[in-house]
Structure 1
């Protein structure tokens, strides 16, 4: 009896040690997963500041907090459980869902690039067609739009996060995914909050009451921020293309081998290898985005035609 009791204690001790060793790996798993989704994180960071442009500066941080709160809720209560359930009941669906999300990112990236180089004249709306809304309504609309964009990017983040922990225990999967959700949300929206308030910080530092060197720094921040936001927009677009294409490529064995061979060929110069892979993915992303746009246009034409036929029959 006593020997059986001590044997049970030994088993429990071994289980605790194994669990502790497994939990020690979680920070590394979180870091690895965060690295895998870095491109999407960059894009998320680059996209969000535009949603506070033109609104009351005193409301900027409140708006960002609202977006961040809804983003975290979506990641923790909807997207993470959905990824875990899919991974358990339909693991085959993870890759196609990731590829669909990658195609969407390529489409969005292509649309941004196309708008940059498009020379079509802007069509100014008639005054009568403009809808007058209150600042409160505009704020709600901006938050709603930001959350809609964020949920797509967040879905990609959590799906990729799950794909990195499929070999782990269920407990580790849950802990890693929750840690990734919290860390990325805090990092992204904390940085976004700093970005949108950086010019205010610069103006504050440029006041006469501070040392001339501090004033110079403040003026430099004010002058630099518009250029930084513009650069961030370009980086976000590039990240959207290369991440979307890489997600799709990893779902197709042939393209996976091509990317691997490219990395191996340039393995002696890691920076060049990374740049070559990113460039190849960005070009591939543009091609995928172009094809998706044509499919969207075709779908719209077919849908409109069917609708017109139905109306004529009535």
Structure 2
């Protein structure tokens, strides 16, 4: 009897160790998959605050909360089941779909650059006065639709990184990535949209130092939004180009990937102790340039087909 109990405890210990190892593997896979989606995450963070511009300050956080809930529904109820079905029944389609998403990122990045440096006529809004509730509902719907596109790319990137794992691991990793990124993105968004209010509150305090910090926060808001937009655009081109390069390699066209890898190695060896940083930067720039070229071709073609 005691020997049976010892054997049972030994089995439980073995199962516990196996479960712990599985959790470690899932956590590592989720972190790796999430980090690869950084370009989309930055753009998502940069885009969302625009949906509360012009609305009453007291409605900003409730609107962000509703958009965050919509984002979770997008990821967990729509995209996660679709991704698992795709992985189970059509795994061959993951790379082509991921490349389509990468091309979309390249297009979005190039489109933003064309709008910034091109000669597009300014669009002025002449919208009639509407019910505030209707305007709020429209903005939330628009934000959730945009989030669906960006979330699909995030989940596709995560799925591609765990495509060879068991289906339950894929499901857990995608859920962790979806929930974690949603909390991170919309937590930062909430902080960004309230930064000017925090700054105004601090600017009214008695302490001169606190007032100075408050005024600095208010002045920094436009610059922060510009910086996020620039970083988001660069990240989309870099990530989109990298997805296309990797996808081509998977499909048997490895020349671009080999060229980028060789250039990164040459720069890394030439720059000594900080060679790792410059090697990575070389690869990112090369991916970004390819992404810009692909995105510009798509954008200019669409403009020619559907002129503004």
Task: Flag whether TM exceeds 0.5 (same fold).
Answer: yes
Matches within 5 A, 1:200-219: 200-207=197-204, 209-219=205-215
Unaligned runs of 5+ in 1: 302-314
Q: 1:20 to 1:42 in 2, by over 3 A?
A: same
SS at match of 1:252: helix
Render the CA deviation track for 1:2-22: whole Å, top value 9, x for unaligned: 999998987676455323312
Please, which of 287, 293, 296 is the counterpart of residue 293 of structure 2? 287
Aligned to 1:174: 171
Please, which of 138, 141, 145 is the counterpart of residue 144 of structure 1? 141
Q: 1:13 to 1:122 in 2, by over 3 A?
A: closer
Q: 1:124 to 1:37 in 2, by over 3 A?
A: closer
Aligned to 2:238: 242
| Larger gyration radius, structure 1 or structure 2 | 1
TM-score, structure 2 normalization: 0.87
SS at match of 1:251: helix
Aligned to 2:257: 256
Residue pair 1:23, 1:172 contacting (<8 A) in 2 also: no
Shift of 1:203: 0.6
Please, which of 271, 276, 289 is the counterpart of residue 270 of structure 1? 276
Aligned to 2:42: 42
CA distance in 1, matches of 2:239, 2:120: 29
Aligned to 2:130: 133
Q: 1:53 to 1:11 in 2, by over 3 A?
A: same
Render the CA deviation track for 1:132-160: whole Å, top value 9, x for unaligned: 43222221221111111111111111111
Which has the higher mean CA deviation after the structures are superposed, 161-170 or 186-195?
Answer: 161-170
Aligned to 1:193: 190
CA distance in 2, matches of 1:6, 1:224: 64
Render the CA deviation track for 1:42-65: whole Å, top value 9, x for unaligned: 111111111111111111111111
Q: 1:89 to 1:12 in 2, by over 3 A?
A: farther
Aligned to 2:220: 224
Q: 1:124 to 1:206 in 2, by over 3 A?
A: closer
CA distance in 1, matches of 2:209, 2:94: 54
CA distance in 1, matches of 2:300, 2:24: 48
Aligned to 2:73: 73
Shift of 1:117: 0.7
CA distance in 2, matches of 1:132, 1:281: 45
Matches within 5 A, 1:299-314: 300=306
Q: What CA RMSD, in Å, does the superposition of the two structures yield over aligned residues? A: 2.5
